[in-house]
Homo-oligomer: A and B are copies of this chain.
Amino acid sequence: MVEPKKVVIIGGVACGPKTAARLRRLDPDAEITLIDKGNVLSYGACGMPYYVSGDVERVDALLETPVGVKRDAGFFRKVKGFDALTETEATRIDRAKKTVETVSLATGEKKTLPYDKLVLAAGASPFVPPISGLDLEGVYHMHHFEDASKVKEVVDQKKAKKAVIIGAGLIGVEMAEAFRAQGMEVTIIEMLPSVMGLLLDEEMGRLAMKHMAQKGVELRMNQTVEALEGDDKGSLKLVKTSQGEIEADVALVAIGVRPNSEIAAKAGLAVDPKGGILINNFCQTSDPDIYAGGDCVVNISLTGLSGQGVFAPQGSTSNKHGRTIANHIAGRPESFDGVLGTVICKAFDITIGRTGLTEKQADALGYDVETVLCPGPDMPHYYPTAKPMCIKLVIDRRTRKVVGFQAVGAGDVAKRLDVAATAMSFGATIDAMAHLDLGYAPPYSPPLDPIVTAVHIAQNKLDGITRAISPVELKRRMDEGDQDMVLLDVRSPKEREQVRLPFEDRTLHIPLGALREKTGELPKDKWIIPFCKLSLRGYEAERILSGAGLMNVSFLDGGILGWPYDLVVPKPDSSS
Contact = CB atoms under 8 A, between A and B. Distances in A.
B46 A355 contact: no
Nearest to A66: B381
A351 B512 CA distance: 38
A44 B380 contact: yes
A463 to B, nearest CB: 7
Nearest to A443: B346
Interface stretch (A146-154, A251-259, A541-549, A563-571): A541-549
A304 interface: no
A437 B316 CA distance: 8
A274 to B, nearest CB: 20
A353 interface: yes
A447 B382 contact: no
Contacts of A137: none
B418 A516 contact: no
B463 A437 contact: no
Nearest to A415: B415
Contact of A377 (B66, B314, B435, B445): B66
Given A46-B442, A344-B444, A437-B355, A56 B414 contact: no
Given A66-B377, A440-B344, A442-B47, A544 B419 contact: no
The complex is assembled from copies of this chain, and their number is: 2
A145 to B, nearest CB: 13
Interface in A75-134: 75, 78-81
A115 to B, nearest CB: 22
Nearest to A324: B435
What is the interface residue range for chain A against chain B?
A: 35 or more
Contact of A512 (B79, B336, B432): B79
A419 B422 contact: yes
Given A320-B435, A417-B438, 13 more contacts: A26-B465, A28-B543, A47-B442, A55-B384, A65-B381, A66-B533, A81-B544, A316-B437, A318-B447, A344-B444, A344-B445, A412-B414, A425-B432
Interface of A: 14, 24-26, 28, 44, 46-47, 50, 55-56, 61-62, 64-67, 69, 75, 78-81, 174, 302, 314-320, 323, 332, 334, 336-337, 339-346, 351, 353, 355, 376-377, 380-384, 412, 414-415, 417-419, 421-423, 425-426, 428, 431-432, 434-445, 447-449, 452, 456, 459, 463, 465, 491-492, 495, 512-514, 516, 533-534, 540, 543-544, 547-548
